[in-house]
Amino acid sequence: MPGFYKLIAGSAAAIFIGIAAAGPLHAAEGAEILAAYQGDWRGSGEARPNLRSDLTKITCRISASYNPQEAALSNTGKCGTTKGAQKLEGKLSLVGDQLTGNFLGAAANYGLVNATLRIAENMIVTEAQVEDAGKMVKVRTFVTPPQDNVFLVQSQFFDRASNSWVVSGEIEFRRQ
């Protein structure tokens, strides 16, 4: 099921890569941001199985719990498309002023290299590279903070031909 792993890595789940955050983060700020994602969520949207393919529908269900003693957000869930489904499991932790972990497990890391994880403007941001047709392509994903019981995950890739970022997936999650 490598195609499905690429879909997850290239779009929705890439947001939760497990690398230390770039730049200082105040512990209280980070804890508040992580705690906001606690709960049961259902998401739907579209993503590309690879950077050159058409968008396909994707649905996800995740359950996240925040542990204040560990300053950690743990998650279990499942995402699926017409190509198949993948169980997801992971954990994001605040260690000092750094965000570390791997929120959605191995599927989120599939094929990604040089990944960084950080919090910017209250969003969880992942930046990495992925191989596409023998070339390394920059990818990034933004997870907006939950507002009115909704958060958005948007993944993008850098298109060298147009010298611009192109949306490769977008999933809207709603609290259940």
CATH code of 109's domain: 2.40.128
**Per-residue model confidence (pLDDT) at position 107:** 53
Contacts of 136 (CB under 8 A, 6+ apart): 113, 129, 130
Residue 53 confidence (pLDDT) above 80: yes
The total number of structural domains that make up the chain: 1
82 part of a folded domain: yes
Average pLDDT over residues 104-125: 74
pTM for the model: 0.82
125 part of a folded domain: yes
51 part of a folded domain: no
80 part of a folded domain: yes
d(CA 30, CA 97): 8
Identify the residue with better confidence: 145 or 120: 145
12 part of a folded domain: yes
95 part of a folded domain: yes
29 part of a folded domain: yes
pLDDT band at 26 (very low <50, low <70, confident <90, very high): low
50 part of a folded domain: no
Beta carbons of 50 and 132 less than 8 angstroms apart: yes
Residue range(s) defining the domain that contains residue 92: 2-45+58-175
**Per-residue model confidence (pLDDT) at position 109:** 56
End-to-end CA distance of the chain: 29
d(CA 42, CA 59): 8
**Per-residue model confidence (pLDDT) at position 110:** 64
Identify the residue with better confidence: 67 or 14: 67
